[in-house]
Amino acid sequence: MKSFRIHKGKPAPLHRANVDTDQIIPKQFLKRIERTGFGEFLFHDWRRAKDGQHDHSFPLNHPRHAGASILVAGKNFGCGSSREHAVWALDDFGFRAVIAPSFADIFANNCVKNGLLTVVLSEEEVSEIVRRATEIEEYHLTVDLEQQKVHDGHGLSASFHIDEFTRHCLLNGLDAIGLTLQHEGDIAAYEARHPVPKAMRDFA
């Protein structure tokens, strides 16, 4: 897993609530069997008009937000489908962090697994970042996981909470499967007490 410590980059505002994973990566792009190559389809139906051209009213297409690496969104970001393709698309597009007032559970889990940081800030803080990102040229934001702070060099500084274990995994880019397999003894003991039901064992 990719590690995350400090990232400075341009934020792109997407100030809408309940952005679901169907919007982040529409279903017609879920058929790839690789983890890569999803970035060009990120927010496809919002970014592109029906003729395939970029829709310039969509914030991510605004020249000011070109090269953005921090997405700033409304509450309940990533709701709906469990598709990790949504996270792969954000990552492949170049995003390293998403800031929102709240996230859907499965999406947030998927982010951690890919080293994409989800930062929960208050509605007010998010609105303020959106305002600054929209109004200030070359606006940059620093997301600091070590200090658990977001700051912009223009007087904005906001702290965020993240549970200690997730922070530890992200800071060190730990392999989650490897960590679990350290408990092989416990898993084997559990399995000895809970054998596979007979009907399932006999099948196939």
Spatial strand order in the sheet of 70-73: 11-14, 70-73, 97-100, 117-120
Question: Rounded to the nearest whole angstrom, what is the least distance from the CB of residue 55 to another protein in the complex?
Answer: 13
Closer residue to another protein, CB minimum distance, 63 or 197: 197
Min CB(173)–another protein separation in Å: 13
Interatomic CA distance for residues 165 and 129, integer angstroms: 27
Nearer to another protein by Cβ, of 156 and 176: the residue is 176
Q: Nearer to another protein by C-beta: 117 or 152?
A: 117
Of 58, 31, 34, the closest CA to residue 45 belongs to 58
| Residue 143 CB, nearest approach to another protein (Å) | 22
Q: How far is the CB of 67 from another protein (least distance, A)?
A: 27
Residues that bind another protein in the complex, under the rule CB under 8 A: 16-18, 20, 22-23, 26-28, 30-35, 45, 50, 74-76, 79-85, 87, 102, 104-106, 109-110, 113-114, 163-165, 168, 176-177, 179-181, 183, 186-187, 190-191, 194, 196-201, 203-204
Rank residues 27 and 154 by Cβ distance to another protein and give the closer one.
Answer: 27
Give the C-alpha separation, 61 to 70, whole Å. 14
- Using DSSP's 3-state secondary structure scheme, residue 129 falls into helix
H or E stretch covering 73: strand 70-73
Min separation Cβ 96 and another protein, Å: 17
DSSP state of 54: B
- Least distance in angstroms from the C-beta of 162 to another protein: 12
Based on CB atoms, which residue is closest to another protein, 24 or 145?
Answer: 24
Tokens for 71, please give them. Answer: 């997405």
Nearer to another protein, 102 or 152 (CB): 102
Closest of 118, 111, 66 to residue 89, by C-alpha? 111
Q: Which of 100, 151, 157 is closest to 126 using CA atoms?
A: 100
Length of the chain: 204
Using the structure block, give the residue that is written with the tokens 């060009």.
Answer: 40
